[in-house]
Structure 1
Amino acid sequence: MEQLYGWILLIGPGVLAWQGYSWLRTGVWTALPLSKTFQYFEWPVPFTSWLGLQKMLDWVFDIPTSFAVFVVSFVIVVLLALLEATIDKRRFEREKL
């Protein structure tokens, strides 16, 4: 399972590595905010008439995709590790009986 965790965590830095590779080839840094990723996959970017909430959404969708993917993958790894620990604990308690 630990190898899977490592592979999941490499997705965010992988996006950053692709950006670096592209920059080395072309000399132009390809900015990849989260909003551009949503546009690529044709997912709707949320819009609201509440100005304060819209500013917060704009800020979230302006963060780099590599950072957002790394954070999401980190949360997934933590949840999987907690699930694995819970399963192991219950298995150990059953074997004890």
Structure 2
Amino acid sequence: RVGDSVELRMVSQGGLKAEKQELEKIRGVVLGIVKRGLGSSLILRDVVYGLPIERRIPFYSPMIKEAKILERNFIFKGKKKVKRSKLYYFRDRN
């Protein structure tokens, strides 16, 4: 859901048919979900070394090996419900 903190494990390099697949952990807050059938994706935001990074990750990508919800309602620390479908205003906050 939007506002949750999630962790994804994805194949980072070499593709799916490589002999040795290296998995990469991606953590972030879900800013929005784009619903377009098989083209559905989510927008993740994280701060790495002081730089904000946003990634658009397809739901049905074969590169995703595992998805885990770390914390629900991460933005409001679980105190109140997120009432927006897209949290683009979160980009301007620190």
The TM-score range, normalised by the shorter chain, is: under 0.3
TM-score in terms of structure 1 length: 0.24
* Rg larger for: 1
Which structure shows the bigger proportion of residues in strand conformation?
2
TM-score in terms of structure 2 length: 0.24
